[in-house]
Amino acid sequence: MRQPTVSHHLKTMATAGLLAREKRGTWVWYSVDRDGMRAVRDILRSPVGALI
């Protein structure tokens, strides 16, 4: 994938709360947001998530 595509998807996941975003100068560092991932896991494990 090209860099702009990767950056776009990382930003989208950060906006959704799945990744934490930290800007250091001109660089942006991403890490997993455990609370966001936990929320997704809980949704997928719920009876409603079984319908997805």
Position 13, amino acid: M
Helix or strand or coil: residue 50?
helix
Residue 12's pLDDT band, with cuts at 50, 70 and 90, is very high
Q: What is the pLDDT of residues 23-39, one digit of tens each?
A: 999 999 999 999 999 99
CA dist 8 and 2 (Å) reads 10
Look at domain 3-51 and name its CATH class: mainly alpha
Check residue 15 and give its pLDDT: 95
C-alpha distances (whole Å) from 24 to each of 12, 15, 32, 33 are 19, 18, 17, 18
Residue 49 has pLDDT above 70, yes or no: no
Does this model's pTM top 0.85? no
Is 33 exposed, middle or buried (CB count within 10 Å of its CB: 0-12, 13-18, 19+)?
middle
